[in-house]
Amino acid sequence: MALLDSINFAYSLAGLLVGVLIGMTGIGGGSLMTPLLILVFGIHPETAVGTDLLYASATKSVGTGVHSISRSVDWQIVSRLAMGSIPATVLALYGLTLLGPASHETGGLITGVLGTALFLTAAALLFRGFILKFYANRIGELGHQRTNWATTATGFVLGVLVAISSVGAGALGVTALLLLYPRLPMVRIVGSDIAHAVPLTLVAGIGHWFIGSLDWMLLASLLIGSIPGIIVGSFMANRVSEAILRTLLSVILAGVATRLVFA
């Protein structure tokens, strides 16, 4: 009963709404939840990021299980990404500890990186087709060795972005993998990206826990709403135009990014 009394159902409602959008679009919670926690609920940026990372790890673990059962995860790609992302996460977290948890400098860095990551995510959603076509015409498919190195480098960039802002493992990761593995079916691209997000967000979330930027009751409140939300959103996914959803999300993310960066 004491645990139930500690649950904030306003956060649970936010989790429900974000969960529905995640289920409908597949866009990671970081792009939606972290800005919501900062701008609407006034949560300190570092606490919002740290809590959202474990939130993402929990929700994407379920998705990874589903994709694993359907054999839609390329574990070699996941391992190549992790070879870059895990060391990058550790380095980024160490940098945050040098700035000092909950400091003004840390908050400014997080909101700046978060805003930039949201702009990039919005562009990846809105212009993905153009980006893929331009890349195919100008660069084309890389050789095996160069693809492996580029995958690890991609993981490194994603690790820095996710550790600091909790954004990047969703739309940005999928777009990067589509460029690097054009012959791979979309379902394996998505499955591999989700599977990679689990260890990445888990390591980053644990790191934020150790430096004191995690709110366990906030996390519990969010999960209470988001788990049923993801289920509902998954059933609604085929009933709403994907093009409309991608455009709407792009506009929302660009607007949120503008407020974060220029507030």
- Give the residue numbers spanning the domain of 156: 46-215+241-262
Domain assignment of residue 232, yes or no: no
- Number of domains comprising the chain: 1
Which residue, 199, 111, 127, is CA-closest to 158? 199
Q: At what angle do helices 45-69 and 104-126 cross, to 10 degrees?
A: 40
d(CA 221, CA 92): 27
Q: Which of 240, 242, 243 is nearest to 232 (CA)?
A: 240
What pLDDT does residue 150 have? 93
Is residue 25 domain-resident? no
Residue 15 domain-assigned (yes or no): no
Q: What is the DSSP letter of 240?
A: S
| 70 falls within a domain | yes
Domain presence at residue 194: yes
86, part of any domain: yes
Instruction: Confirm whether 53 is domain-assigned.
Output: yes
Read off the pLDDT of residues 171-218 as tens digits, 9 standing for 90 and up: 788 888 888 998 888 778 888 888 888 899 999 999 988 887 788 889
Please give the pLDDT value at position 165. 86
Q: What is the pTM of this model?
A: 0.82
* In-domain check, residue 23: no
